[in-house]
């Protein structure tokens, strides 16, 4: 979620018949370079990419209405937090966290409003993708039978330092700012 560095997911692809499975890890360190110079984390989801012929990650292009709902929920919580004693360190921390999250969501909102391209594969930029919904069994796009996605949890990986245009095209030669 916004406001903190999202950890990549670890997930399991279960194929039938045979129930054999494969464990995959998501990536981290993927950011958009926006036209005004701001950077925004790329939200990702496991996909099958028809160009890579592989299970990769695709961009999540969250609709404006959904971003608005998230902003509203943060604002509601912010109001609740500020009704309590704001001089307590934990309250202050929560306040700062929410304020930062709202700022980043507003950035995501303006990016989403201008975004034209459908979601792309983060590896090759192709838009021909199948999004794998957690727990849902679908026809296996890579062969026979079916495939189902299960989350195993989150893991920490070295960021891979990929930068994308607002339309999701990889920008080689750009580096993430060093923390």
Sign of the alpha-carbon torsion through 69, 70, 75, 76: positive
Q: From CA 25, how far away is CA 23, in angstroms rounded? A: 7
* Least Å from the CB of residue 166 to Zn ion: 19
Q: Is position 124 an interface residue for Zn ion (rule: CB under 5 A)? A: yes
Structure tokens that stand for 1 in this block: 């979620």
* Least Å from the CB of residue 179 to Zn ion: 29
Whole-angstrom distance between the N-terminal and C-terminal Cα of the chain?
19
Count CB-CB contacts under 10 A for residue 90. 10
List the one residue from 14, 91, 126, 138 that touches Zn ion (CB under 5 A): 126
List the one residue from 77, 123, 127, 159 that touches Zn ion (CB under 5 A): 123
Q: From CA 47, how far away is CA 122, in angstroms rounded? A: 10
Q: Is position 131 an interface residue for Zn ion (rule: CB under 5 A)? A: no
Nearest alpha-carbon partner for 9 in 123, 132, 128, 118: 132
* Least Å from the CB of residue 117 to Zn ion: 14
Comparison of 81 and 122: residue with beta carbon closer to Zn ion: 122
* Least Å from the CB of residue 95 to Zn ion: 41
Q: Scan residues 19-58 and list those touching Zn ion (CB under 5 A).
A: 49, 51-52
* Least Å from the CB of residue 53 to Zn ion: 8
Comparison of 126 and 176: residue with beta carbon closer to Zn ion: 126
Q: Which stretch binds Zn ion (CB under 5 A): 22-30, 34-42, 122-130, 138-146?
A: 122-130
The number of residues that bind Zn ion (CB under 5 A) is: 7
Rg (CA), the chain: 18
Comparison of 52 and 78: residue with beta carbon closer to Zn ion: 52
Contact 61, 83 (CB under 8 A): no
Residue 129: is the preceding peptide bond cis (ω within 30°)? no
Contact residues toward Zn ion (CB under 5 A) are: 49, 51-52, 121, 123-124, 126
């Amino acid at each position: 979620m916004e406001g903190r560095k999202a950890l990549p997911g670890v997930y399991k692809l279960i194929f039938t018949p045979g129930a054999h499975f494969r464990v995959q890890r998501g990536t981290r360190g993927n950011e958009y370079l926006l036209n005004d110079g701001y950077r925004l984390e790329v939200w990702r989801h496991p996909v099958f990419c028809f160009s890579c012929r592989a299970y990769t990650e695709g961009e999540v292009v969250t609709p404006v209405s959904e971003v608005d709902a998230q902003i509203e929920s943060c604002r509601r919580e912010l109001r609740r937090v500020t009704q309590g004693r704001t001089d307590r360190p934990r309250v202050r921390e929560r306040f700062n966290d929410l304020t930062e999250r709202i700022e980043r969501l507003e950035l995501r909102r303006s990016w989403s409003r201008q975004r034209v391209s459908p979601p792309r594969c983060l590896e090759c930029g192709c838009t021909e993708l199948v999004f794998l919904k957690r727990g849902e069994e679908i026809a296996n796009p890579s062969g026979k039978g079916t495939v189902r996605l299960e989350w195993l949890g989150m893991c920490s990986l070295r960021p891979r330092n990929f930068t994308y245009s607002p339309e999701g095209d990889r920008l080689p030669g750009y580096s993430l700012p060093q923390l």
